[in-house]
């Protein structure tokens, strides 16, 4: 079967391209649309940013994504815009975001400009109330080698203040046929639409790579040029695309993206939401999934410590049915999990906070945006009056797996919430971990930071007004 999608308003049918071909390579080498650039090939610089939309959505949302991390079959049924298409859909005239960039002299050397333009285009056609903070977030995934960000930010501000033609964009989207199977030679790309079909496929192809957003798997394709024999894509599986609140529980399907989950998490666990906004960039969060972040089993994954501290449960699925396991018990050793043959993550169930429970998480990295954590701490602290009645604490970056800190929890539980208690927990956390040194941080630094975060937690929960985070806007 062929992959069908609209590219800059023109229906494309792809039937002879290897399924692990990146969208970036397709655009530049086959479609000959060279405005989309390759900078880092790992979703970090934004030079390859394009915009995608899905006509099947009730009201299509235009999302900036990294073309270097997507495989061509992931475009099936979508509408794709590159920088070349903006003038085409605007009767040969510059798009308002392009015109704003010209007027603000924001082009500089020009290499990164197409990526900035596409991120700006996506924001302009969003429903967001645009502020300097929102502009910073929208552009965080685009790096300028000339370092002249001010005129680019000015361009974004000017473009988004003008009248937006959202309705016109929605009207031009046509529904595209989709396929659940794409095969070229010995390579197969499956896109099942329901849970039963996915379980059957994974049982038949136990060595298949399960693809969520591809923000990790895509790097193996883009940088390492790996050509996987079998890929099973989760994005069309209805049961994995559900997010709901059931009484005291938030349930997030494994194929729900960070962007889709964020409004729910922001309302229920604001600190968790703040941390998610630091995972990659918008381009990453628009396709990356929390299910994939857990399934990757990285010791420095950002969400697992939070999920462990919140006492979340994973629901795993196979042909045999569902199996529930705590996130804490899912991780066995470095990159090793408790998944049985044929199992994959179906959903994540997160208990809502009870009265008196407080949740905070802190990410320590070399830069604010777009960086992997050296240490991440997550804390659920239950306080009744001045007494700590329960504590669940987890860290990432401190061991071979994300794991709890039982000694620190014991140092808090039953104690009064005061500075001395926080200091005792800071000392006790050294009993819980023996961190390693790597290129992100030394073991001494990690140990010191893990303890010091209790002081930050104390100041935060106590309402002490201190400058704990500095970010340039």
The last residue of one of the domains, among 171, 192, 208, is 171
- Torsion sign over Cα 399, 423, 265, 371: negative
pLDDT above 60: residue 471 = no
Are the C-beta atoms of residues 188 and 230 closer than 8 Å to each other?
yes
- Residue 436: exposed, middle, or buried by beta-carbon count in 10 A (0-12, 13-18, 19+)? middle
Domain boundary among 171, 200, 217: 171
Domain count, the chain: 2
* Centroid of chain to Cα 262: 10
pLDDT (0 to 100) of residue 472: 41
DSSP assignment of 79-134 equals EEE-HHHHHHTTTTSPPHHHHHHHHTT--TTSSSHHHHHHHHHHHHTSS----HHH
**pTM for this prediction:** 0.94
CB 338 within 8 A of CB 330: yes
Largest distance between two CA atoms of the chain: 69
Q: Is residue 319 part of a domain?
A: no
Q: Where are the beta strands (DSSP E) in 255-356?
A: 313-318, 321-326, 331-333, 336-337, 344-351
Contacts 24+ apart (CB under 8 A), 319-323: 319/199, 319/200, 319/203, 322/346
Q: How many other β-carbons are positioned within 10 Å of the β-carbon of residue 348?
A: 26
Asked if the model's pLDDT at residue 49 lies above 60, the reply is: yes
pLDDT at 407: 98
Proportion of the chain above pLDDT 90, given as a percent: 76
Residue 46 within any structural domain of the chain: yes
Quote the pLDDT of residue 19.
Answer: 95
User: Quick check: 22 and 67 in contact, CB under 8 A?
Assistant: yes
Residue 140 lies in a domain: yes
Answer whether residue 468 shows pLDDT above 60.
no
- Write down the mean pLDDT value for the chain: 92
Does 216 fall in a domain?
no
The DSSP call for residue 374 is: S
CATH number at residue 78: 3.10.20.30
pLDDT at 169: 63
**Domain span at residue 471?**
364-473
327/173 Cα distance (integer angstroms): 40
CA distances to 135, 264, 287 from 260, rounded to whole Å, are 19, 8, 9
d(CA 259, CA 74) in angstroms, rounded, equals 17
pLDDT score, position 236:
94
Q: Is the dihedral of CA 243, 246, 247, 249 positive or negative?
A: negative
Residue 337 pLDDT grade (very low, low, confident, very high; cuts 50, 70, 90): very high
Count, residues in the chain:
473
Summarize the confidence of residues 95-118 as an average pLDDT.
Answer: 91
d(CA 172, CA 166): 10
Q: What is the CATH number of the domain that holds 409?
A: 3.30.390.50
Question: Which of 128, 143, 171 marks a domain boundary?
Answer: 171
Question: pLDDT at position 473, please?
Answer: 38
């Amino acid at each position: 079967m062929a992959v069908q999608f609209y590219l800059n308003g023109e229906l494309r049918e792809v039937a002879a391209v290897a399924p692990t071909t990146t969208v970036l390579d397709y655009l530049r080498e086959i479609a000959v649309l060279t405005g989309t650039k390759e900078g880092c090939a790992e979703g970090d610089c934004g030079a390859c940013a394009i915009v995608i939309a899905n006509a099947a959505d009730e009201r299509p949302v235009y999302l900036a994504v990294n073309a270097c991390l997507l495989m061509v079959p992931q475009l099936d049924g979508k509408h794709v815009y590159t920088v070349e298409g903006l003038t085409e859909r605007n009767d040969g005239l510059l798009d308002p975001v392009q015109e704003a960039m010209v007027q603000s002299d924001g082009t500089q050397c020009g290499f990164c400009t197409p990526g900035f333009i596409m991120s700006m285009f996506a924001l302009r056609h969003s429903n967001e109330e645009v502020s300097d903070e929102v502009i910073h977030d929208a552009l965080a995934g685009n790096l300028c080698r000339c370092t002249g960000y001010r005129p680019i930010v000015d361009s974004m501000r000017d473009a988004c203040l003008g009248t937006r033609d959202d309705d016109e964009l929605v009207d031009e989207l046509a529904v595209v046929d989709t396929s659940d199977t794409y095969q070229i030679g010995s390579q197969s790309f499956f896109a099942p639409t329901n849970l039963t079909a996915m379980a059957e496929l994974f049982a038949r192809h136990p060595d298949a790579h399960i693809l969520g957003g591809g923000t990790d798997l895509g790097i193996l394709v883009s940088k390492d040029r790996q050509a996987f024999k079998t890929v099973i894509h989760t994005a069309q599986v209805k049961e994995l695309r559900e997010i709901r609140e059931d009484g005291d529980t938030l349930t997030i399907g494994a194929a729900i993206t960070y962007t889709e989950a964020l409004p729910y998490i922001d309302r229920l666990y604001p600190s968790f939401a703040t941390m998610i906004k630091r995972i990659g960039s918008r381009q990453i969060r628009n396709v990356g999934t929390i299910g994939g972040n857990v399934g990757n089993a990285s010791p420095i994954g950002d969400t697992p410590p939070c999920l462990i501290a919140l006492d979340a449960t994973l629901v795993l699925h196979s042909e045999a049915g569902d199996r529930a396991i705590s996130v804490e018990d899912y991780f066995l050793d470095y990159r090793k999990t408790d998944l049985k043959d044929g199992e994959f993550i179906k959903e994540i169930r997160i208990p809502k906070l009870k009265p008196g429970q407080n949740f905070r998480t802190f990410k320590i990295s070399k830069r604010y945006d777009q960086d992997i954590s050296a240490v991440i701490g997550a804390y659920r602290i239950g306080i009744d009056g001045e007494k700590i009645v329960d504590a669940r604490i987890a860290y990432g970056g401190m061991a071979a797996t994300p794991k709890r800190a039982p000694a620190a929890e014991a140092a808090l539980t039953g104690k009064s919430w005061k500075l001395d208690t926080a200091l005792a927990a800071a000392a006790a956390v050294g009993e819980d971990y023996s961190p390693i040194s790597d290129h992100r941080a030394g073991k001494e630094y990690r140990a010191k930071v893990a303890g010091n975060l209790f002081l930050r937690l104390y100041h935060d929960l106590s309402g002490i007004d201190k400058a704990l985070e500095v970010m340039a806007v």
